[in-house]
Structure formats: structure tokens, C-alpha cells
Amino acid sequence: MLSIGTRIFDGIFSEVNRKKIESITIWTATIGFIFHLSLVLLNNYSIIDFATESLLLTNPISAIYTPFSIILYYEIFLLIFYLPRSFTTSILKQFEIISLIIIRRIFYDIPKLNLDTDYWFQNPYNLQITYDLICILILFFLIYLFNLVKSRIENKKAFNNIDRFISSKKIISITLIPVMICLFIIGIYNWYSIGLDSNFASSFYYVNEVFYNTFFSILIIADVFILLLSFLYTERYSQIMRNTGFIICTILIRLSFSSTGLTNQLLIISSVLFGLLILKIYSLMNKIE
């Protein structure tokens, strides 16, 4: 069973397939950007009337939102690929994904800026983008520190039967692929359905958020399964604490999707900061052990 799962995983995530998907992602993102920008221009010049005042279809800057959304789906694919490697690599990819989601949100909110007001912080949109800009700088620095600590940890064989453990994680990763595809299809259907009743621009933003909300909820379950599997192969306290701590990081990221305003940024920063501290303490205990 483990050998079959390993062969399937290695076949799906082979270097050839990853390069193909990367190429498709780049082309799709480029075409999506041009298509979105074209819709904005056609709508602004009244060549096509979408009967909406949504900034996604009236401001050219908002067109950047589309390629970022496509790239983020590719990042989710890479997250599934990195999941069997180690908890540390997997959580790092999660941190990178959430930082890209915030950058994408900045491009969505930039057209809403009110530059005429004399009271910058009294405008909620100005306040939101200020929070996001500060948040992304803090995240970028924390992720740099996380990478630094990760690179300094001595690579040891964590425990016996490491190959069996990796094979087990590959099977869990494989199960996430159809889940991701189903969520994507459901998202497209909901986008179309909601778009018919209101406008497809606002529904596009809504469905994107629902996708990541649901996916990270499922990812928590996958991480817990991996944690339980690790008990079969190791009894090292430091590894158990590290792996459990990283699951808490994922939970904090998941909670951030259900919050708004400053709470959203604080949850995300707390997740990365907590993960950084957990990894640093783990590295110190590694030297003692």
C-alpha cells in the first residue's frame, strides 16, 4: 500500500509534471491578467455594460488581482508537494501563501484609497491598506528569520523507518489533490451562481476567500493525521512539540480567514511569530539532544 502510494505521488509530482504545471500557471496568469484588464477597459468605455460599479471591473489596477489568484492556486499545489518532506517545510510554504494572499488583497484594496481626505485614518479603506502594508513587511521579515533558523538546524535522521513515515505522508498528500480539485470546481460553480444573482466581480472575491478558508480547515485535519502517524516513529519530545506547534500555526491562519480588520493581521503575524519561536526553541533543544 505504501509503495503504491509513493509511486502515485512521485508520478503526479514528478519534475516534468511540476514544470508543465508551472508553465501552464504562468501562461494562465498572463492570459487572465490581459482578459481582466480588457473587461475593465471595455466596461469603462461602455463597449460592454456589466451594470456594476465594482472596482474589480472599473479600475485597471484591480486586474492584478486575477493573476495573483491563479498563482496562489499553484502555491497550494506546491504546498501539497512539500507536505511529505517535513513539518518545517510545509509550514514555511503556508506562511508564504498567506503573505501572498495579503499582497493580493492590497491590490484589491488600492483602488478604494481616498487620497482627497485630510484625515487619512478616518477612512476605513485607507486604514485597512495601512494595516496590510505594515503586516506584509513584518511577515516578510519573520519569514526571513524562519528560513534562517531552518537553514541552521543540523539535518539528522529524525527516527528509524523514516522512509515509511514519508510514504505515509505522501498518501495523505494524494488525498488532498481531489479535495483541492473539488473545491476549485465548487468555487467556479458558486461564482457563476452568485454572479447571476448579484455581480460576478464581488462573487469572485467571495468565492476565493471561501476556497482558502475551507482548504486550510482540511489542511488542519491532514496535519493532525501526520502528527498522529509521527507517534509511531518517534518519542522525541522536541519533535512532538515542534509538530504540534506548527499545527497551532495552521489553526491561527485558518482563524484569520474568519476575521477582518486588525484582528486578521494580528492572527497571521501571531501564527508566523509563534512558528518562528517554536522552531528556534526546537533548534536549541536539538543541540542538547
First to last CA, the chain: 34
Quick: pLDDT tens for 123-133.
778 888 889 99
User: Total structural domains in the chain?
Assistant: 1
Residue 159: φ, ψ to 5°: -165, 170
Give me the pLDDT at residue 54, please. Answer: 60
Determine the 3-state secondary structure of 53 from DSSP: coil
- Burial (CB < 10 A; 0-12, 13-18, 19+), residue 235, is exposed
Residue 1 DSSP code: -
Rounded alpha-carbon distances, angstroms, from residue 19 to 13, 23, 30, 249: 10, 6, 17, 30
pTM of the model: 0.85
The length of the chain in residues reads 289
Domain around 36: 2-288
Q: Write out pLDDT tens, residues 20-77.
A: 999 999 999 999 899 888 888 887 777 776 655 566 677 788 788 888 888 888 888 8
Residue with cell 495601512: 130
Which residues lie below 8 Å from residue 129, measured CB to CB, with a gap of 6+? 106, 109, 110, 112, 113
DSSP label at residue 122:
G
pLDDT score of 157 more than 70:
no
